[in-house]
């Protein structure tokens, strides 16, 4: 039997894994699988940090970031600040496959999506608008302590039947972010990285911290040097937390803004995960038994 494997961040990643595992079984390539898996989460309005129903920025507009990376040739497609399309991951795919570029933002990315026939739609739901109003009532100034509280990313890593490794991410970023803020998720090396010769990793949590350690690239390079996905996740995250030791306790007053979690897969489909907090769950499925499982990541330092 040819191997395949898929893993995705957070309990809502279960939906991504269900969709992705079916496609992997049908021998679809990693790009198709990751795109479709992430689209399923983006279109679910009950997931309040991704796609439709995502968390609005400070001015009440939903701004989405997403990316895809193909490990075969290190090709990347990424978009940031997308406001009118429910599936930014599909625009990221267009960037990867049809442009000479790797990262497109805002209006330019949206006009490119128009030109390729993608449909615009509203991202705001009545529930996300209500939550935004409540957040704004509690937090009148952008400098308030609770800034950013409330965020998550769907990050997916895949080994396909042909041995290809692919990673993808999609998020609305931090709650009440300043308009124009971009997180780690669309940044190659920070929010995601994939290389067929070493493995793949994705990150979720405070993008401002994750990008300071280029966490996903660090994890993939540790796997290249022989670390298991589990060791690589714990090691890379542990190093960043130690390096930012002074920064992180200061921010602990509003703990949500220090949270980070990572998920990785090696060339054989082995999976590892780590977090600097106790509540990071991920979903996964392997060709061996096709069961979709949820597992809690190990917290570093305990
Ligand atoms: N990493 C995302 C960002 O900073 C948010 C998250 O995954 O929690 O935009």
% residues pLDDT > 70 (the chain): 93
Whether residue 261 contacts residue 245, with contact meaning beta carbons closer than 8 Å, is answered with no
Question: pLDDT averaged over the chain?
Answer: 93
- Backbone φ and ψ for 169, nearest 5 degrees, come out as -145, 155
- For residue range 16-53, what is the model confidence (pLDDT) as tens digits? 999 999 999 999 999 999 999 999 999 999 999 999 99
pLDDT band at 150 (very low <50, low <70, confident <90, very high): confident
| Secondary-structure percent of the chain, ordered helix, strand, coil, rounded to 5 | 35, 25, 40
pLDDT at 250 exceeding the cut of 60:
no
pLDDT at 245 exceeding the cut of 60:
yes
In angstroms, the CA 167 to CA 30 distance is 8
Contacts of 132 (CB under 8 A, 6+ apart): 55, 56, 60, 176
pLDDT band at 181 (very low <50, low <70, confident <90, very high): very high
In angstroms, the CA 86 to CA 53 distance is 9
Whether residue 25 contacts residue 63, with contact meaning beta carbons closer than 8 Å, is answered with no
pLDDT band at 182 (very low <50, low <70, confident <90, very high): very high
Ligand 1 pocket mutation pick from 48, 147, 206, 280 by most atoms within 8 angstroms of CB:
206
The Å distance, Cα 63 to ligand 1 centre, comes to 12
Helix pair angle (30-42, 88-98), 10° resolution: 150
Closest ligand 1 atom number to CA of residue 151: 8
Active site residues: 153
pLDDT at 14 exceeding the cut of 70:
yes
- pTM for this structure? 0.96
Question: Which residues on adjacent β-strands are paired with residue 148?
Answer: 175
- For residue range 77-125, what is the model confidence (pLDDT) as tens digits? 999 999 999 999 999 999 999 999 999 999 999 999 999 999 999 999 9
In angstroms, the CA 135 to CA 96 distance is 36
In angstroms, the CA 50 to CA 289 distance is 29
In angstroms, the CA 181 to CA 103 distance is 15
Ligand 1 pocket mutation pick from 191, 215, 273, 279 by most atoms within 8 angstroms of CB:
191
SS (H, E, C) 154-220: EEEEEECCCCCEEEEEEECCCECCCCCCCCCCCCECCCEEEECCCEEEEEEECHHHHCCCCHHHHHH
Which residue owns the Cα nearest ligand 1 atom 9?
173
Which residue owns the Cα nearest ligand 1 atom 4?
207
Closest ligand 1 atom number to CA of residue 155: 7
Q: What's the chain's length in residues?
A: 302
- pLDDT given for residue 151 in this prediction: 87
Question: Which residues on adjacent β-strands are paired with residue 92?
Answer: none
Residues in the ligand 1 pocket, defined by CB under 6 Å: 151-153, 171, 173-174, 183-185, 204-207, 210
- pLDDT given for residue 62 in this prediction: 97
Q: Give the angle subtended at the CA of 88 by the CAs of 222 and 43, to the nearest 5°.
A: 105
Ligand 1 pocket mutation pick from 63, 81, 192, 205 by most atoms within 8 angstroms of CB:
205
């Amino acid at each position: 039997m040819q191997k395949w494997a898929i893993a995705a961040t957070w309990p809502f990643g279960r939906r991504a894994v269900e969709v992705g595992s079916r496609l992997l079984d049908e021998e679809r390539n990693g790009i198709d699988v990751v795109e479709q898996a992430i689209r399923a989460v983006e279109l679910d309005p009950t997931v309040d940090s991704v796609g439709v129903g995502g968390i609005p920025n400070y001015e009440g507009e939903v701004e989405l970031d997403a990316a895809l990376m193909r490990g075969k040739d290190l090709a990347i497609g990424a978009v940031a600040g997308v406001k009118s399309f429910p599936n930014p991951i599909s625009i990221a795919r267009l960037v990867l496959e049809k442009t000479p570029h790797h990262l497109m933002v805002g209006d330019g990315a949206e006009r490119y999506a128009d030109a390729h026939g993608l449909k615009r739609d509203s991202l705001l739901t009545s529930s996300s608008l209500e939550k935004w109003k409540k957040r704004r009532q509690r937090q009148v100034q952008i400098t308030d302590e609770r800034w950013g509280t409330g965020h998550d990313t769907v990050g997916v890593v895949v080994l396909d039947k042909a041995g290809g490794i692919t990673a993808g991410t999609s998020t609305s970023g931090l709650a009440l972010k300043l308009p124009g803020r971009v997180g780690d998720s669309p940044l190659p090396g920070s929010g995601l990285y994939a290389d067929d010769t070493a493995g793949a990793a994705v990150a979720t949590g405070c993008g401002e911290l994750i990008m300071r350690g280029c966490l996903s690239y660090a994890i993939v390079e540790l796997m290249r040097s022989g670390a298991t996905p589990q060791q690589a996740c714990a090691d890379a995250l542990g190093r960043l937390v130690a390096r930012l030791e002074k920064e992180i306790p200061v921010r602990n007053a509003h703990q949500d803004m220090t949270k980070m979690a990572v998920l990785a897969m090696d060339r054989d489909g082995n999976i590892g995960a780590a977090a600097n907090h106790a509540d990071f769950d991920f979903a996964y499925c392997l060709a061996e038994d096709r069961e979709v499982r949820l597992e809690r990541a190990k917290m570093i330092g305990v």
